[in-house]
Amino acid sequence: MTDVALASGGASIAAATCADERFPPENTLDGGESTFWMTTGLFPQELVVALPREVSISKVRTVTSGVRRLGMEFSTQPTPKGFEKLFDVELPDKGPGGKQVESHKVSRLKARFLKFVIG
């Protein structure tokens, strides 16, 4: 299985609702669990990942900390618009600094863009 949402695989950040130069959105694409994107301001926050091409997705793995709700949407459009909801889940509280590691199996779908909605 290929990690298509990594920078090493050609993915990039199409949009983010906030950015801290010490913890930029691009950190979400490096595959490391010691680097991260830190949201600033009010919720919800959004992160849109551009995949290198339209790809098939069957599983999504996320590693978060301090996130109450996580939603994911996808688009097959050539630009990041026309998103369709994939899932919206409430995440368990792991305490200060605790990692929320989640794996979401999805019906095999095609996507060109992924949008993560953090609340």
Number of domains present in the structure of the chain: 1
The predicted model scores a pTM of: 0.92
The CATH number for 11's domain is 2.60.120.260
Per residue of the chain (119 residues), what is the pLDDT tens digit? 578 888 999 999 999 999 999 999 999 999 988 899 999 888 999 999 999 999 999 999 999 999 999 999 999 999 999 999 999 999 999 999 899 999 999 887 999 999 999 99
Q: Which domain holds residue 43?
A: 7-118
Distance of alpha carbon 74 from alpha carbon 15, whole angstroms: 14
Residue 73 in domain? yes
3-state secondary structure of 53: strand
